[in-house]
Amino acid sequence: MKKLLPIIVLIFFATVANAVVREDSDTVLKTVEKTYTVQYPSGGSDNFIYVFTAHLKAYMAQHGESSSWKHPVDSRRCNYSVSSYILREGFYVTGSGKRVPEGALKKMYGPKQWRRKGNTIFEQVIGKHSPCNDYVGDFNSIKKSISRSILSTFDAILLQDVIPGSEADAKSILKASAFTRTN
């Protein structure tokens, strides 16, 4: 019996269900920086920079476990999501060029998202399972599509919506008398 104990323990731990994360990434696709001069009612001024970045976030994980003597139903299912968003961050720029973040001006725009959840309990009971290997091609195709979409609209979104709103937010939050773009 003592010789069988390690084998039983190994089988038990080998069949325990857990999630296997295949990808969990947040990739910067494009960055645009706009510099400004902040003028205050007191007469002082600061240099300021906005950094706008287009991101692609991708997540894929397999949950469940394959069938075994202990677990007769194959419950593997693949969940994944792909999204894109624009992140706005504002920084004061010191005389030496160091960037000091202004947290009140950090904002996320978006996201455009596509999500797939694993099979329902009923589908699992009738034997339909969905391991991630079956969806890698689809997952990569969706990533490419959403990446192209955010890159093709990034500049237009910045010019029509994000930058004008950001300038108004900065003037208000920084209590500036003027917020003038220098590039």
pLDDT, tens digit, 9 for 90 and up, residues 24-38: 899 999 999 999 999
Q: Are strands 178-181 and 99-101 parallel, antiparallel or unpaired?
A: unpaired
What 8-state DSSP symbol labels residue 14? H
Per-residue pLDDT band at 136 (split at 50, 70, 90): confident
182's enclosing H/E stretch is none
Query: C-alpha distances in angstroms, 99 versus 43, 90, 156?
Result: 22, 9, 26
Q: What is the pTM of this model?
A: 0.76
Q: Give the model's pLDDT for residue 13.
A: 43
